[in-house]
Amino acid sequence: MGYNGLFQLPDELVLTTLAQAFPSREPQIRALATLVHPSAAPCRNLVLYGTKSTGKSAITAAVLAALENDDIDIDDNGSPGLKFAIVNCVECITGRHLFETVVGKVARALRWDGAPLKCETVSQLTVALSKMLKYTPRPDNFRFVLVFDGIDRQREAPPTLLPALARLSEIIPNITTVFIATSPPAGFLHTPFVSHIHFPNYTKPEFVAILGASPPTPLPNTTQAETTELWARFTAAVHDALARAASRILPSLRHACQALWPRFTAPILAGTHAPREFSKLLVAARVHFRDERLLDPGIVSAARRLQTPPPTQTPTTTTDPSTLTNGTVLPKPPQPTSSAPDLAALLPTTARLLLLAAYLASHNPARHDLTLFSTHHHGRRRRRGGLSVGVSGRSNAGRRSKHRKIARKLLGAHAFILERMLAIFASVRREWDPSGDEQQGMDSDTGMAIATLASLRLLVRVGGAGGAGNSDPMDRGGKWRVNVGWEVVRGLGRSIGVEIEEWLVE
């Protein structure tokens, strides 16, 4: 097909194939193909930006390769009307290394034999590219796309590097320069009218759709459809548990799913649960969702490694189900309490005290706060023993025997107001941490500790003044909920010498 100078979009079949290969990225694929296609709307400079692992580099390489292989226009020499070269700026340690890499890759893409071996400045780079692209006869619709991947991470880059590269298209008309960056500042190219394409982070449905495109092999006694359905629900649960805290990007979330999948499906292999009993499988595997060692097994505490006892031999007459007939003790799975000492060692004292105060606020009724934490009438704080005697008299003994209550710590955590948690924290801070700061009220350490607990999802925002979408985490009217269990809180309390059970009313 000859070049007629009319606007023409890329082949729809090529764009559809690329959209199927990269789910949730069809708008970016179409925009990129339009802005680099020789017969569409080729631009001089193009900036692709977005967070890490959003498909910028992979989609750029795939789109350019598809457009080059597509029979857009064939000139007299039998070469396509689009050529490209991709330069990984992270691999270039100096500016001269970058320039020589650009010249070498452009020469290989054009099959140019007379490329210079030495290129030290931007001026020499411009001269070398002009010889290969400008002063060599090319078809009218020829376009060369030069991609700088990770240009914002280029080492030893002079301040004039980016503006100079952006002005290459002013000297060489048939070149398009593409810059791939994470978070480019406004006007960093010092050139007006620069096109930008944003690659946003994936949402939960997009994560599930991408991971669901490659389901695992069918489990024993299950069909592929049942395994695929279970895998989709499992990836959604992993996203809810780990996306905000540990697996915000696609590779880490895929790694987490691959690490947790064998442990999640272990009850199915054992025959105790069916593939459709997702709730029971999730409850059985919740301990694995809290174990950070599964996500990164290389991080192991040296102290914990030294404290691990060696395998021992026991008599074969033992009744322990984890003991084989030859007397070898099998390694026991990690217990839920194993996360308590890790959390106590990682959190500072202020964060631990706030987490304990949040647990008390979630599990103690608000009507008992004055009795538990006030010293106005008694001179000291009354704990559960005195409170139980005072609240429950002999008249209620018979009624309590007939109507038993479930302990509040066995029920789910209730929402509380931030003001109440801070009041409990201020009341017990001096008693629980005598060596700490005696400053009262909200200080910088307290605010930082609350932000840390919220980022780790140990405290969860559930509502408040202005709704759950209120952007101010320090709003004292906001509602929160503690997101840790009883075993973890008891370990945190004992790490600072506090028996948290004495402060629970029921």
Q: Which helix (H) or strand (E) holds 19?
A: helix 12-21
Please, which contacts does 426-430 make with residues 24 or more away whose CB atoms are closer than 8 Å?
A: 427/373, 427/374, 427/381, 428/353, 428/356, 428/357, 428/373, 428/381, 428/503, 429/353
- Range 35-55 average pLDDT: 91
> Which 8-state DSSP code applies to residue 184?
P
Evaluate whether residue 77 is within a structural domain. Answer: yes
Residue 153 lies in a domain: yes
CB 62 within 8 A of CB 21: yes
Same structural domain for residues 244 and 126? no
pLDDT at 271: 87
Q: What's the whole-model pTM score?
A: 0.63
pLDDT tens-place string over residues 325-376? 444 444 444 444 444 446 777 888 888 899 999 999 888 888 888 877 775 5
- Establish if 327 belongs to a structural domain: no
DSSP state of 394: G
Task: Tell me whether residue 214 is in a domain.
Answer: yes
**129 and 265 inside one domain:** no
What confidence tier does 293 reach under pLDDT thresholds 50, 70, 90?
low
Confidence tier at 1 by pLDDT (50, 70, 90)? very low
> What's the pLDDT score for residue 167?
93
Q: Which domain holds residue 349?
A: 341-386+407-503
Give residue 258's Cα distance to chain centre. 15
- Weakest mean pLDDT among 34-43, 220-229, 239-248: 239-248
Would you say residue 297 lies in a domain? yes
Does the pLDDT of residue 94 top 80, yes or no? yes
Half-sphere exposure at residue 400, Cβ-oriented, CA atoms within 13 angstroms? 10
Label residue 98 by pLDDT band (50, 70, 90): very high
- 86 and 16 belong to one structural domain: yes
Greatest mean pLDDT among 100-114, 244-258, 308-322 lies in: 100-114
| Residues 223 and 183 both lie in one domain | no
Output 482 or 248, whichever has higher pLDDT: 482
Q: How confident is the model at residue 296 (pLDDT cuts 50, 70, 90)?
A: low
351 and 423 belong to one structural domain = yes
| Residues 417-454 pLDDT 10s | 888 888 888 888 878 877 666 555 567 788 888 888 88
**3-state secondary structure (DSSP) of residue 503:** helix
Q: Mean pLDDT over all residues of the chain?
A: 79
Q: How far apart are CA 28 and CA 203, in angstroms?
A: 16
Residue 1 lies in a domain: no
Same domain, 411 and 497: yes
One domain for residues 424 and 279: no
Most confident of 24-38, 294-308, 316-330, 334-348: 24-38
Given pLDDT bands bounded at 50, 70 and 90, which one contains residue 97? very high
One domain for residues 183 and 224: no
In this structure, are 163 and 222 located in the same domain? no
Residues 376 and 259 in one domain: no
12-16, 222-226, 261-265, 338-342: the lowest-pLDDT one: 338-342
Among residues 135, 167, 198, which one ends one of the domains?
A: 198
